[in-house]
């Protein structure tokens, strides 16, 4: 039995998220349908993380087991013509039998895009925010998130998880022209965690919350204590890391 790893890019705009659901269009469903056409066998795939409706991916990682003897490059050049244009397979490789795209990962990185003017083109890839925000205050507050914390306050209520502990390795706010970016790297993320963090930090940036409020929100372990949930279209899954995270001064986000 072969274990195949795919690097996948997709535009989440017209999908009801990653995970297969009845009667709606999902990224997993499209990939599995294409694999079935290619191999003539139904194959269930595993992803490194389940993105929500409207969320995009630059480097989602997928793996699956197959008896197919197709050459490894066919899982790139053969799958892409069978997939819709909003999903691309960037790379395919054969990996060890025990590799699991989700459980073998050491870290995930996400980027959130904010724009300060209405867009005609690209509006599905950023959150248009009318309010002025102070990113220095937001960065100062974000430093409180570094390390291991219980992020229950930043998880969608009712999520079925064993625990809420996440180890945050890096957080960074920065501006480029009329755009503001939030980059975050952690060992794991909870449902809606990045979007709730962004919404809450924006509340700090516009003055409706302050630096000390973030500590109180973490301690509350209650979703109701945190701020708004930022809209999905600004969020990108950038990279899945399969080696222990080592911060680099030259680290580049997309």
Please list the active-site residues: 52
Residue 38 CA, distance from chain mean position: 27
**Whole-angstrom distance, CA of residue 251 vs CA of residue 98:** 29
- Please enumerate in sequence order all residues whose Cβ is within 8 A of that of 120, keeping only pairs 6 or more positions apart, or say none: none
Convert 51-76 to b/e letters by CB count within 10 Å (16 or more is b): bbbbbbbbbbbbbbebebeeeeeebb
Angle at 242 between CA 241 and CA 243, to 5 degrees: 95
Which among 252, 248, 219, 238 is positioned nearest to 58, based on CA atoms? 238
Q: Is 172 helix (H, G, I), strand (E, B) or coil?
A: strand
Which among 82, 50, 246 is positioned nearest to 160, based on CA atoms? 50
DSSP letter, residue 202: H
**Whole-angstrom distance, CA of residue 201 vs CA of residue 95:** 39
**Whole-angstrom distance, CA of residue 78 vs CA of residue 72:** 10
**Whole-angstrom distance, CA of residue 220 vs CA of residue 214:** 10
**Whole-angstrom distance, CA of residue 81 vs CA of residue 87:** 10
């Amino acid at each position: 039995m072969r274990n195949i790893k795919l690097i996948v890019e997709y535009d989440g705009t017209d999908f009801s998220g990653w995970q297969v659901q009845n009667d709606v269009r999902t990224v997993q469903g499209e990939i599995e349908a294409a694999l079935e056409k290619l191999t003539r066998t139904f194959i269930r795939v595993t992803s490194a993380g389940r993105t929500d409706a409207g969320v995009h991916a630059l480097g989602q990682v997928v793996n699956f087991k197959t008896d197919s003897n197709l050459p490894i490059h066919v899982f790139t050049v053969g799958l892409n013509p069978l997939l819709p244009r909003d999903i691309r397979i960037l790379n395919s490789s054969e990996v060890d039998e025990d590799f699991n795209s989700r459980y073998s990962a050491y870290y995930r990185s996400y980027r959130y895009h904010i724009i300060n003017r209405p867009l005609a083109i690209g509006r599905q890839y950023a959150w248009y925010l009318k309010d002025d925000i102070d990113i220095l205050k937001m960065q100062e507050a974000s430093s409180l998130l570094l390390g291991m914390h219980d992020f229950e306050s930043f998880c969608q209520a009712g999520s079925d998880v064993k625990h809420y502990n996440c180890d945050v390795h890096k957080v960074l706010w920065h501006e480029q022209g009329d755009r503001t970016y939030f980059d975050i790297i952690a060992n794991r993320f909870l449902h809606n965690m990045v979007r709730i963090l962004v919404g809450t930090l924006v509340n700090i940036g516009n003055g409706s919350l302050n630096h000390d409020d973030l500590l109180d929100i973490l301690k509350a372990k209650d979703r109701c204590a945190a701020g708004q949930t930022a809209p999905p279209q600004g969020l990108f899954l950038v990279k899945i890391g399969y080696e222990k995270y080592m911060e680099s001064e030259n680290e580049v986000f997309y």
